Amino acid sequence: MCLQTLYSRHKLNTRGKLQLLTNYVYKLRPNQTQTSKMSAWVDLLRSQYNWCLNDRIVQYNQQFIQGDYCDIKARGEASPLTCFVSKSGATGNPWKDSKSDKEGNTKNPRRSATDIQITALPELKAARPWFAGIDSTVLQQNIKRLDTAYKNFFDGRGFPKFKNRSNFTSFTFAMGVKIQGSRIYLPKLGWMRFHNSRPIPNGFTIKACAVRKRQNGWYVSVRIEDKSVPDYLTKSLKDVVKVIGCDLGITKLVHLSDGTQIENPKFSTSKKAKRTLKIRQRRVSRKAKGSKNRRKAAKKLGLFHQKIGDKRQAYQWKVANKIVARNIDAIALEDLNISGMMRRCRVKVDEKTGRFLKNGQSRKKGLNRSISDAGWGELILKIEYLAAKQGKVVIKVNPKYSSQKCRNCGHIDQSNRDGEKFICVECGYHEHADIGAAKTIRDRALEIVRGDSAKLGACHLNAQKISPRSKSKRGEFGNLGNKDIKAEMS
């Protein structure tokens, strides 16, 4: 969760409608005691997270049948009555004795790994008294955080990893949070001042809050809910008439099917930013490890990274607002596999000598940095949120061959595209490559809406045609409809 920007989320209630969940982010002003206590909490919670993850991994290895054995330490043979293979287990009593059926007999439903580890928290506090100083809901939410990581893994994402100081900097309160003016009460931390930059409206109740440490201090993200706010009603596909297509890129951040092009500021890959990052990173590497000077240099480097991230977040919100605010019913986006696009090239080995051959990874490194700097995934999330808030539909389509397929004759060829130019080698159809791809994405979304093949003849009125063999400068064209949203914002 990003704590620097405002995120609003929608959650289904029991009736299937949408409830408004909004996160307000504030910068905390803790005293020295509270700062040291929160830093200690983060270290303890990180050790608890890693221990729980290791516990689940060990239990899985012991429960998984390896040959004739089901217990690695005891070397006990596998029995179908006592041995099983579970997705995630934990040390403790796996059965719950608190429930009973209608006849009064005790039920023994099997607990999940999360329930087992949460139930063992009192034992943890008794054995390790320093954990008793942490709020109980914070410890429980820390285990649920691990459970969410496992759920993502079973859904096809990466396996949960052990945390270090750089990627574990936050904790969450589930209850007990109060706000009075410019003061906030956090359980077992006491009243704390904060910059009340955005007052909470009347009618909202506090559901939870997350505290996170950043380079320039501590931030709190307060989640509030108002059930009296009217639910957002999203249009059905049958009511969709106007659709705009979006093609994400690097030279330009977004190309729209109406000819608009959105600039890509390149916050971390510009010449000035790369030079600054290079200098500050070099200053860190030249300092002695563990020294105060190294920590000071690392803090300056972190502050610059934070500045880049904040700029990117603010710009993406402006771009998403400009796209969603148009007079349209649906937004067509590419269904991109961004992690697959940034994956390393396969290793090439010479069969005779066994030496590694060039595989193009050194050239692809720059492309991966540009994709990461563009932040396509975060931009898509912002567009989806704003579209849901305004009752508009987001349609994700397959972007395959969207910039190589001719919109006039349907011919697909990689040589059709030359940079930002598109010239069909079959029929001579001529237009801007990325804007044509945005139009193709829009038409594919219309096919999904209408359920049949969309007729594309009316979409080629403004396109130019030249002979495929013509190389005269008159046939060259610039960026069609070069409308810059950056100029519109000013």
| pLDDT at residue 73, as a whole number | 56
Q: How confident is the model at residue 485 (pLDDT cuts 50, 70, 90)?
A: very low
The mean pLDDT value of the chain amounts to 81
| pLDDT at residue 157, as a whole number | 82
The tokens of 63 are what? Answer: 């429960």
Query: Among 233-242, 439-448, 460-469, whose mean pLDDT is lowest?
Result: 460-469
Smallest Cα–Cα separation from 321: which of 420, 390, 421, 274? Answer: 390
Q: What is the pTM of this model?
A: 0.77
The tokens of 295 are what? Answer: 């920590």
pLDDT 10s digits, 245-287: 999 999 999 999 998 999 999 999 999 999 999 999 999 999 9
Residue 21 CA to residue 204 CA, distance in Å, equals: 9
Mean pLDDT of 320-346: 91
Is 482 a residue whose pLDDT tops 70? no
Smallest Cα–Cα separation from 106: which of 91, 95, 90, 92? Answer: 95
- Is 333 in contact with 380 (CB distance < 8 Å)? yes
| pLDDT at residue 1, as a whole number | 37
| pLDDT at residue 237, as a whole number | 80
Mean pLDDT of 202-219: 92
Query: Among 18-22, 253-257, 324-328, whose mean pLDDT is lowest?
Result: 18-22
Is 123 a residue whose pLDDT tops 80? yes
Query: Among 10-14, 119-123, 446-450, whose mean pLDDT is lowest?
Result: 10-14
Mean pLDDT of 134-159: 91
Q: What is the DSSP letter of 133?
A: G
Residue 386 CA to residue 311 CA, distance in Å, equals: 19
Q: What is the DSSP letter of 346?
A: P
The tokens of 181 are what? Answer: 């003016």
Alpha helices by DSSP H, 16-175: 32-63, 113-119, 121-127, 136-154
Is 105 a residue whose pLDDT tops 80? no
| pLDDT at residue 108, as a whole number | 65
The tokens of 27 are what? Answer: 């910068």
Catalytic residues: 247, 334, 434
Number of H helices, E strands in the chain: 11, 20
Instruction: Please state, as a whole number, how many other Cβ atoms lie within 10 Å of the Cβ of residue 142.
Output: 24
Q: What is the DSSP letter of 73?
A: T
- Is 347 in contact with 356 (CB distance < 8 Å)? yes
Residue 470 CA to residue 475 CA, distance in Å, equals: 7
Residue with tokens 């979304």: 445
